């Protein structure tokens, strides 16, 4: 556990994410914010890593398969010292280390390049399998979106991972119920996601994905399960924690400028101040 509480760290990540995207003026903000509580708990309280040695062999790894949540991951990495916080001002600028979608060759601390949805499922299985083969005690964490589950590759991986007893693989589904074109239930209704994973041979939990304590507890439970991989369905809100963004229904990729940006920053700062009070 670091000196900052998970709740406070999540609020810091939110604020930095909004400022980062605001600097560029637009971005994939809704899905970055819904995954922020997870990202905060992982980097603040769960994962084994060394910001000075981002490639250390026995580190835990995060595959942010919904690569468009990159800006929130970058905020967490910067706050934890992987690179200077000023880099956040360069999101999607020419020559940046921080592209819209995660790129392991550009950003210290990013463990896998993602962006074409579904692909992180298989690459995370490869990483987890290698950890097992090398006798490491480390974990691979995978985060997909909910719309991402429309991709067949997700289910190829979901079928395969239990066959290798990959209990060092924990898959989070950021179930914010919305995808680019609207509500998931209006596009392809995913119905009971946890039940799907269970039937594929995974240990599955469904929790409040906006509650950092619930996330931490679910990870502890997942780690206690031996012989099978774990899925944790995070029931979240797209745009979570920033009312200005939450209130925009189609908030997958939106402009963030002027009064809107100022309002979003003010909301993040108020949230942070309330925690610090």
Partner 1 sequence: MSIIYDGTLDKDQYKGVFGEAIEALAAEDKDVIYLDCDLMNSFGTYKFWQGNKNQAFNIGISEANAVGIAAGLSAAGKKPYVHTFGPFASRRCYDQAFLSVGYTKNSVRIFGSDAGVTAAFNGGTHMPFEDMALYRAVPEATVLEVTDAAMFRALIKLTKDRPGLNYIRTTRKNYPTVYSADHAFEIGKAETLTEGNDVAIFAIGLMVGEALKAAATLKEKGINARVIDAFTIKPLDLETLKKAAEETKAIVTTENHNIIGGLGDAVLGGLSELGIAAKVKKHGVQDRFGSVGDQKYLQEFYGLTAEKIVETVEAVLA
Q: Using an 8 Å Cβ cutoff, are 102 and 67 in contact?
A: yes
- Shortest distance (Å) from residue 119 CB to partner 1: 5
Q: Which stretch in 92-100, 160-168, 176-184, 258-266 sits in contact with partner 1 by CB under 8 A? A: 160-168
N- to C-terminal Cα separation, the chain: 21
- Shortest distance (Å) from residue 41 CB to partner 1: 23
Report the distance separating Cα 89 and Cα 67, nearest Å: 19
The residue within the footprint of partner 1, chosen from 113, 184, 230, 236 (CB under 8 A), is 113
Task: Kindly provide the b/e burial profile for residues 117-134, where b requires at least 16 CB atoms within 10 angstroms of the residue's own CB.
Answer: bbbbbbbbbebbbebbee
- Shortest distance (Å) from residue 163 CB to partner 1: 8
The residue within the footprint of partner 1, chosen from 38, 88, 98, 127 (CB under 8 A), is 127
- Count of residues in contact with partner 1, rule CB under 8 A: 31
The residue within the footprint of partner 1, chosen from 152, 189, 226, 247 (CB under 8 A), is 152
Comparing C-alpha atoms, which of 8, 22, 96 is closest to residue 273?
Answer: 8
Q: Does 96 bind partner 1 (CB under 8 A)?
A: no
The residue within the footprint of partner 1, chosen from 5, 92, 164, 165 (CB under 8 A), is 164
Q: Does 119 bind partner 1 (CB under 8 A)?
A: yes
- Shortest distance (Å) from residue 114 CB to partner 1: 9
- Shortest distance (Å) from residue 130 CB to partner 1: 3
Angle (CA) 3-145-161 rounded to 5° is: 90
- Shortest distance (Å) from residue 155 CB to partner 1: 9
Which of 68/238 has CB closer to partner 1? Answer: 68
Report the distance separating Cα 129 and Cα 165, nearest Å: 9
- CB count within 10 Å of CB 233 equals 24
The residue within the footprint of partner 1, chosen from 36, 122, 168, 235 (CB under 8 A), is 122
Largest CA distance in the chain: 53
Print the SS3 string covering 100-146: CCCCCCCCCCCCCCCCCCCHHHHHHHHHHHHHHHCCCCCCEEEEEEC
Q: Does 126 bind partner 1 (CB under 8 A)?
A: yes
Q: Using an 8 Å Cβ cutoff, are 107 and 83 in contact?
A: yes
Taking 3-state DSSP, the helix, strand and coil percentages for the chain, each rounded to the nearest 5, stand at 50, 15, 40
Binding track over 128-147 against partner 1, x by CB under 8 A = xxxx-xx-------------
The residue within the footprint of partner 1, chosen from 6, 17, 36, 123 (CB under 8 A), is 123
Interface ranges with partner 1 (CB under 8 A): 103-105, 111-113, 115-116, 118-119, 121-131, 133-134, 152-153, 156-157, 159-160, 163-164
């Amino acid at each position: 556990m670091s000196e900052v509480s998970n709740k406070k760290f999540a609020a810091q990540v939110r604020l930095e994410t909004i400022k980062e995207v605001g600097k560029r003026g637009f971005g994939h903000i809704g899905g970055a914010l819904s995954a922020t509580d997870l990202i905060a708990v992982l980097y603040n309280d769960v994962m084994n890593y060394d910001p000075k040695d981002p490639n250390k062999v026995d580190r835990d790894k995060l595959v942010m398969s919904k690569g468009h949540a990159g800006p929130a991951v970058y905020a967490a990495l910067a706050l934890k010292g992987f690179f200077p916080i000023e880099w956040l001002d360069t999101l999607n600028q020419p020559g940046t280390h921080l592209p819209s979608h995660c790129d392991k060759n550009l950003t210290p601390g990013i463990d896998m390049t993602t962006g074409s949805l579904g692909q992180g499922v298989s690459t995370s299985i490869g990483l987890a399998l290698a950890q097992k083969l090398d006798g490491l005690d480390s974990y691979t964490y995978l985060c997909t979106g909910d719309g991402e589950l429309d991709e067949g590759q997700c289910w190829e991986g979901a079928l395969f991972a239990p066959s290798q007893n990959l209990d060092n693989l924990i898959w989070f589904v950021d179930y914010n119920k919305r995808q680019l074109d609207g509500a998931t239930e209006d596009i392809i209704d995913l119905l009971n996601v946890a039940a799907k994973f269970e039937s594929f041979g995974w240990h599955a939990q469904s929790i409040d994905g906006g509650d950092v304590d619930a996330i931490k507890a679910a990870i502890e439970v997942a780690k206690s399960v031996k012989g099978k991989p774990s899925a944790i369905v995070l029931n979240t809100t797209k745009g979570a924690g920033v009312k200005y963004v939450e209130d925009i229904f189609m908030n997958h990729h939106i402009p963030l400028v002027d009064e809107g940006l100022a309002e979003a920053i003010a909301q993040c700062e108020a949230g942070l101040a309330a925690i610090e009070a």
